[in-house]
Amino acid sequence: MDHPSFVHHAVLLSLALFGLGTLGVFLRRNVITVLMSIELMLNGANLAFVAFSRAAGTLDGQVLVFFVMVVAAAEAAVGLAIVIALHRHKDTLDIDAFNVMKG
C-alpha cells in the first residue's frame, strides 16, 4: 500500500515543520501568528507520532495524536480568549506591548 521510505520522509517533514514553527514563535510579533506557529509545531509532533506508529505497527501513537488534537483545541480556545482580553486591555496585538505581569 505504501512505500517504505514514506515513514522516513514523513519524519523529516515533521522535523522541518517543527523547526519552522519554532522560528515563527521567535520571529513573529503578532500574538495570533505566534499561536498559529505553535499549532504548526503541534502538527509536526503529530506527524512524527503517526509516522512512528506506522513504522512500529502499533496504534498507540495514533491515540496520542488524538489526545494532542484535543489539547490543541483546548489550547486554541483559551489562548484566543486571552488574546481577546489582551486586545481589549491594550488595543494592540504586538507581543512587545505585553511585557508586564500587572493587569
Q: Which of residues 29-88 bind other proteins (CB under 8 A)?
A: 29-30, 32-33, 35-37, 39-40, 43, 46-47, 50-51, 53-57, 59-60, 62-63, 65-67, 69-78, 80-85, 87-88
Beta carbons within 8 Å of 27's beta carbon, 6+ residues apart: none
Least separation in angstroms between residue 86's CB and other proteins is: 10
Cα four-point dihedral sign 15, 16, 21, 27: positive
Instruction: State the Cα–Cα distance between residues 88 and 12, nearest whole angstrom.
Output: 41
Least separation in angstroms between residue 85's CB and other proteins is: 5
Least separation in angstroms between residue 100's CB and other proteins is: 15
Instruction: Specify the residue, 63 or 102, whose C-beta has the smaller distance to other proteins.
Output: 63
The continuous run of DSSP H or E covering 35 comes out as: helix 31-56
